């Protein structure tokens, strides 16, 4: 059976190693069984290798060593480390969710059994057997959002070394792809090209959550909008570009998780197909004048909430027109936000230090009062 190219959700049975047998005659203790530990590693990209290594979706740590008369204390069984990409959520057997965001973050999926000792009548105990789920949410700086065929893959190819598959058909991108934007000073920003949304994606139609859960962790969103009318298939009516944008916003708003609160840019793509520029200018004005421009469309297209676009770009990803401008502005806003975040964290740290200083001073003053009364 061939494995899928991209795996972002996987259930596995984690089995801790059994404890080794004790030796009642000599009072020997068996070694404890090893643990199963899920570890985040920056060397991994998807969960595919986990499925490849454990095709039966079961992993087991080593059992503890038995006690014998030449070695009364049995060695502990080796832990089994299951390496996963950064950004994996581990859904544990007791209903908890552990977030593995940084290289080396770890979660114990199954404890090993205790080695045989006098409390267990010198019998080694079985290790835990837990069904856990691994859910990957990509850790990218920038998420590209848009309906199929908007030009997200073309943009990713223009600003990075990634070579995504590009054709004139919807759903060319069936799995997320990460590209890296590199700058002259060595700064790198990761960009995720995610499968295109369709109407109803927030209700898990089409790509559904397979798309949306990967957008949650991005720091910035770039909306890529085809300036031409869009029709997914004969089952869907043709939408104007402005209508398509409003439907896209509705899907992100319905999904929640603060999607519309993220810093956002808008790229009006494929301006090379608009020779006069009138179509692009009209669309630019509609987007810029939100929410007033909602009067131009039927109420069914009105989103409950709207994102705030830092900037609206006219762009042709195919001709690489203004792609460098977009790339540089993304860098600027991300650096500004990072600096603002650092300043806020420093302010909180200083406030905490001041509180500790004030508390210490108050305690000292109380001490002086009681001492000289």
Q: In sequence order, which residues have a C-beta less than 8 Å from that of residue 265 and are 6 or more positions away?
A: 220, 221, 222, 223, 309, 310, 311, 312, 313, 326, 329, 330, 333
pLDDT of residue 44: 87
pLDDT of residue 36: 98
Please check whether residue 322 is in contact with residue 313, taking contact to mean a CB–CB distance below 8 angstroms.
Answer: yes
Beta bridge partner(s), residue 179: 191
Please provide the distance, in angstroms rounded to a whole number, between the alpha carbons at the two ends of the chain: 85
pLDDT of residue 372: 56
CA–chain centroid gap for 13, Å, is 23
As beta bridge partners, residue 224 has 267
- Looking up tokens 């049975």 gives 13
Residue-wise DSSP of 59-121: EEPPPPPPPBTTBSBPPPPPPEEEEE-TTEEEE-TTS-EEEE-STT-EEEEEPPPPPP-GGGT
The structure tokens listed for 213 are 């859960």
Q: Distance of CA 49 to CAs 5, 37, 251, Å?
A: 10, 16, 32
pLDDT confidence of residue 346: 84
Alpha-carbon distance of 259 to 169, in angstroms, equals: 27
Identify the CA nearest to 257 among candidates 305, 222, 289.
305
Question: How many Å apart are CA 129 and CA 127, to the nearest integer?
Answer: 7
Who's near 345: CB < 8 A, 6+ residues apart? none
pLDDT tens per residue across span 212-269: 777 888 899 999 999 999 876 666 688 899 999 998 899 888 888 888 999 999 999 9
Which residues of the chain register pLDDT less than 50?
Answer: 164-173, 199-208
Q: Contact, 75 vs 33, CB < 8 A?
A: no
């Amino acid at each position: 059976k061939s494995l899928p190219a991209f795996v972002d959700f996987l259930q596995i049975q984690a089995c801790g190693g059994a404890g080794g047998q004790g030796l009642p005659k000599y009072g020997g203790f068996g070694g404890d069984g090893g643990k199963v530990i899920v570890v985040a590693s920056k060397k991994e990209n998807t969960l595919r290798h986990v499925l490849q290594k454990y095709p039966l979706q079961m992993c087991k740590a080593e059992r503890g060593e038995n006690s014998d008369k030449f070695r009364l204390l049995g060695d502990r069984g080796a832990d089994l480390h299951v390496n996963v990409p950064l950004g994996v959520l581990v859904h544990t057997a007791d209903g908890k969710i552990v977030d593995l965001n940084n290289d080396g973050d770890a979660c114990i999926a199954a404890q090993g059994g205790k080695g045989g000792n006098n409390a267990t009548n010198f019998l080694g105990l079985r290790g835990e057997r837990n069904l856990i789920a691994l859910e990957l949410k990509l850790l990218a700086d920038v998420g590209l959002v848009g309906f199929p065929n908007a030009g997200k893959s073309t943009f990713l190819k223009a600003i990075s070394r990634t070579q995504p598959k590009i054709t004139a058909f919807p759903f060319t991108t069936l799995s997320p792809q990460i590209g890296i934007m590199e700058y002259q000073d060595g700064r790198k920003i990761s960009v995720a090209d995610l499968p295109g949304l369709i109407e109803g994606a927030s209700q898990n139609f089409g790509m559904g959550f397979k798309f949306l859960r990967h957008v949650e962790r991005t720091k910035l969103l770039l909306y890529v909008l085809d300036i031409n009318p869009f029709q997914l298939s004969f089952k869907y009516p043709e939408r104007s570009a402005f209508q398509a944008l409003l439907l896209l916003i509705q899907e992100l708003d319905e999904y929640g998780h603060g999607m519309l609160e993220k810093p956002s840019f808008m790229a009006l793509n494929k301006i090379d197909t608009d020779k006069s520029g009138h179509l692009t200018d009209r669309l630019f004005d509609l987007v810029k004048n939100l929410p007033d421009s909602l009067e131009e469309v039927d109420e069914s297209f009105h989103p409950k909430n709207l994102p705030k676009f830092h900037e609206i770009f006219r762009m042709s990803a195919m001709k690489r027109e203004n792609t460098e401008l977009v790339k540089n502005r993304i860098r600027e806003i991300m650096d500004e936000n990072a600096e603002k975040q650092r300043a806020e964290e420093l302010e909180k740290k200083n406030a905490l230090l001041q509180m500790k200083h004030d508390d210490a001073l108050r305690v000292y003053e109380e001490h002086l009062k009681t001492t000289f009364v």
